């Protein structure tokens, strides 16, 4: 394929957030009732934690948001400017400007809605022993409206794309936008992918998630999310391989593509289910002392995976690229990467 064939081939939609990241301590986690390897929306009790983090710990500010991370990593792996596009809502403030600059420098074609009333969303990233917990204060990210998507210059990105990726987190913000995109994908035989994203999405946004499932050609998630999904659906199994198969066999809106479920398990093998069968792929081993933090590991896996999927590569190549990208990201702070990938 010529590089022009990749123009806007992959579109992501999600919640653009500025990561406020710090290595904290167990006392801090306890104070704010935070569990590691989890992702939640901030409640009132969490709001003072952002300031407290910057007073007590060394804080880094990194452009983030699950879908935006994945799209940036896919863009980095592809090394073809403008191969990816992204939509979401930011505030008209310095954080929003920094985010736009960061994403554009990464080569992503970003079409943000810029909200007049709310500040750019932030995500507290609390790291203890390399494990992360995410507490998102969506703010402007929560203000995305389907009207923005319907604008001709934005809908053009949907028309141009052949692959779509939306993290489950966006279900809490604009299910109407997701509906338009998934229906377009189904009607035009394009590939629609989503992520389970967090236990709370599977649990408290089950109904909107279930409406999207028939349209999902690829479902991503980690072992904790998969087990929560199983419990919420009354499946009575904690076996990740069985859960992956069951998700892949749920009804589909169209028969164009069979559904593939891809579940990561940290340092344990990646589970891939399709056609009622499971394959497991080992991840690249990493000595504990090289682990900086797991923030963005799952996002990077998806980005690497999608970078090969849009090339029409076999599933094992997609997984290999996902494992490569996440291995790079966990050796750095947040979802960041060197200038060029070293993936062949």
Q: Which residues are catalytic?
A: 299
Token pair belonging to 88 = 């979401």
N residues, the chain: 344
| Helix residue spans in 47-198 (DSSP H) | 49-56, 66-78, 94-105, 146-150, 152-160, 175-187
Token pair belonging to 84 = 């990816």
CA distance 112 to 12: 12
**Cβ contacts of 311 within 8 Å, gap of 6 or more:** 1
Beta-bridge partners for 91: 115
Query: How far is the CA of 184 from the CAs of 45, 146, 172, 180, 181, in angstroms?
Result: 40, 14, 21, 6, 5
CA distance 87 to 203: 25
| Nearest residue to 200 via CA among 232, 246, 166 | 232
CA distance 68 to 254: 27
| Nearest residue to 126 via CA among 225, 32, 14 | 32
CA distance 307 to 317: 10
**Cβ(158)–Cβ(109) under 8 Å?**
no
| DSSP 8-class letter at 24 | -
Helical packing angle, 315-329 and 297-309, nearest 10°: 150
Token pair belonging to 80 = 């073809």
């Amino acid at each position: 394929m010529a590089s022009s064939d990749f123009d806007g081939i992959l579109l992501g939609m999600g919640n653009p957030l500025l990561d406020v990241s710090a290595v904290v301590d167990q006392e801090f986690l306890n104070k704010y009732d935070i569990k590691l390897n989890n992702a939640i929306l901030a409640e009132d009790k969490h709001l003072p934690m952002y300031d407290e983090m910057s007073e007590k710990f060394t804080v880094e500010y990194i452009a983030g948001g699950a879908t935006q991370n994945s799209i940036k990593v896919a863009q980095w792996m592809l090394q073809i400017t403008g191969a990816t596009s992204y939509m979401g809502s930011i505030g008209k403030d310095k954080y929003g400007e920094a985010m736009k600059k960061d994403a554009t420098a990464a080569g992503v074609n970003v079409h943000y809605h810029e909200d007049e009333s709310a500040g750019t969303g932030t995500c507290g990233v609390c790291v203890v022993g390399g494990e992360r917990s995410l507490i998102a204060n969506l703010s402007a990210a929560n203000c995305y409206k389907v009207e923005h998507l319907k604008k001709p210059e934005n809908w053009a990105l949907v028309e141009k794309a052949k692959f779509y990726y939306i993290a489950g987190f966006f279900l809490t913000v604009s299910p109407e936008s997701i509906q338009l995109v998934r229906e377009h994908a189904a009607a035009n035989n394009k590939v629609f992918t989503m992520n389970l994203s967090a236990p709370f999405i599977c649990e408290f946004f089950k109904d909107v998630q279930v409406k999207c499932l028939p349209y999902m050609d690829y479902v991503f998630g980690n072992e904790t999310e998969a087990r929560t999904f199983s419990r919420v659906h009354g499946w009575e199994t904690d076996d990740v391989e069985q859960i992956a198969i069951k998700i892949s066999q749920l009804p589909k809106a169209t028969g164009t593509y069979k559904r593939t479920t891809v579940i990561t398990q940290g340092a344990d093998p990646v589970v891939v289910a399709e056609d009622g069968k499971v394959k497991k792929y080992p991840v690249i081993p990493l000595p504990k002392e090289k682990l900086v933090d797991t923030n963005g590991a799952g996002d990077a896996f998806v980005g690497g995976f999608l970078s090969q999927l849009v090339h029409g590569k076999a599933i094992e190549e997609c997984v290999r690229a996902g494992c490569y990208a996440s291995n790079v990201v966990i050796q750095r702070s947040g979802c960041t990467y060197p200038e060029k990938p070293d993936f062949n």
